[in-house]
A = this chain, B = another copy of it.
Amino acid sequence: MITETNSNDVSNSQLYESQGAFRALSDPTRRGILMLLSERDMTIGDVSEHFDITRAAVKKHLNILQEGALISVRSSGRERINKLEPLGLKSAVDWLNYFNHFWDQKLSALQQAVENEQNNHKEEE
């Protein structure tokens, strides 16, 4: 353990920019809400009908989704319409894309292995 920050370390901005989004995404109910809202905008009441938890609990989830900028809310009379903000997912996607290089590579390796397998079988014919 060291006390001073090591300048070789991963930059904080890389980690904390996406924190709100990743935090919001960590709960399955919240991911379910996002999928619901991908079909149409909904009031809290609408959303609540799809889960076996109270409206208050759903409201808390919606707050966290809003903090993570994954949804937005607009008022219409006494209703609040929740709307998916797909661009909010971008920070999480961007962070994950950093690793694309690696699993593309691994997928290639897998593909290569399959091809080699096939060639071996051919040679055996």
Q: Could you say which of B14, B32, B49 contacts A10, with CB atoms under 8 Å apart?
A: B32
Q: Which residues of B contact A86 (CB under 8 A)?
A: 99, 102-103, 105-106
Copies in the complex: 2
Asked if A25 contacts B26 (CB within 8 A), the reply is yes
- Contact segment of A52-60, A72-80, A112-120: A52-60
A-side interface residues, number (CB < 8 Å): 48
B28 and A15 contact, CB distance less than 8 A: yes
Q: What residues on B are CB-neighbors of A31 within 8 Å?
A: 15, 18, 22, 95
Q: Is the CB of B19 within 8 A of A50?
A: no
In the bound assembly, the distance between CA atoms of A90 and B105 in angstroms comes to: 13
